[in-house]
Amino acid sequence: MSYKIKEMYYTLQGEGGQSGRPAVFLRFSGCNLWSGREEDRHKAICQFCDTNFWGTDGENGGKYATAEEVVRQATALYPDGFSKKYVVCTGGEPMLQLDQPLVDTFHQYGFEVGIETNGTIKIDLPLDWICVSPKENTEIVQRTGDELKIVYPQGGMNPKDWEDLEFTHYYISPMDDDHTEENIQTCIAYCLKNPVWNLSLQTHKIIRIK
Ligand SMILES: C[S@@+](CC[C@H](N)C(=O)[O-])C[C@H]1O[C@@H](n2cnc3c(N)ncnc32)[C@H](O)[C@@H]1O
Ligand SMILES: Nc1nc2[nH]cc(C(=O)O)c2c(=O)[nH]1
Ligand code: SF4
Ligand SMILES: [Mg+2]
């Protein structure tokens, strides 16, 4: 299996329960809810995406022929001799490409493996951290994990409808759009009223890292 990767870079996890943790971000190209082309955004199932996942032209992007090649590149981004490495598989939709050989190889090389997924594809992989971020008008088949992270407000989506799923942490993350400041206030008020939900900020945008 080969892998189409938009970019791979070393940074801090900006969102959710692992926020602040150094990690390699492995951004796969392609998504099942949007082509990634601006001219298609208005007809996409997911229209608010903040990410360029089209093609393989980013930092360390490309077509990788083997899992070993991917993991070797990820390892090279870390300081030498650190044994609790962490890779966040994202995209695009990482479940279109992430497979057992790649997860196994990351584990062999001393990585914990996390994922940021839209939840429309069932995960049958031994992952160390699963973040599901559901999108309106999709069927969520991955209904368990470590964190459920709802981008809010998101059309008519009601976080209450998601409280029965089996996650350890429940996060509300402000929609980044033309009304971000207002959305942050809406999210703060929502968490204070509904304390099952904790606020997650996109801290990498605040501190201006990738
Ligand atoms: C770009 S997505 C890639 C992973 C996967 N396709 C997904 O949607 O979870 C990474 C994270 O960014 C979030 N996200 C995307 N666009 C956003 C926006 N405009 N404001 C806030 N969060 C956003 C997603 O909900 C997801 O949690
Ligand atoms: N620093 C940083 N943290 C992130 N957490 C989730 C991200 C994503 O795009 O999946 C992301 C990202 O793009 N950058
Ligand atoms: S599902 Fe994720 S990657 Fe795909 S368009 Fe939506 S936010 Fe972007
Ligand atoms: Mg991002």
What are the residue boundaries of the structural domains of the chain, listed by start?
3-206
8 Å CB contact between 43 and 94: no
DSSP state of 72: H
- pLDDT category at 1 given cuts 50, 70, 90 is confident
Which residues participate in the annotated binding site for Mg(2+)? Answer: 51
- What's the angle, vertex CA 71, arms to CA 4 and CA 204, rounded to 5? 75
The finding on whether 4 has its CB within 6 A of some atom of ligand 3 is no
pLDDT higher than threshold 90 for residue 142: yes
Closest by CA position to 17, among listed 208, 178, 147: 147
Span 133-141, average pLDDT: 98
Q: Taking the CA atoms of the chain, what radius of gyration do you get in angstroms?
A: 17
Q: Is 50 a catalytic residue?
A: yes
What element of type H or E holds 115?
strand 111-117
8 Å CB contact between 128 and 113: yes
* The pLDDT value given to residue 122: 98
Active-site residue (options: 28, 49, 146, 191): 49
Distance 48 CA to ligand 4 centre (A): 12
pLDDT higher than threshold 90 for residue 48: yes
Those residues whose C-beta lies under 8 Å from the C-beta of residue 28, and which sit 6 or more positions away, are 3, 4, 5, 6, 53, 89, 90, 91, 92, 93, 94, 96, 97, 98
Quote the tokens at residue 67: 């899992």
CATH of 3-206 given 3.40.50.300, 3.20.20.70, 2.130.10.10, 1.10.486.10: 3.20.20.70
- pLDDT category at 64 given cuts 50, 70, 90 is very high
Q: Which 3 state secondary structure label does DSSP give 86?
A: strand
Pairing of strands 111-117, 129-132: parallel
Which residues participate in the annotated binding site for S-adenosyl-L-methionine? Answer: 48-50, 92, 133-135
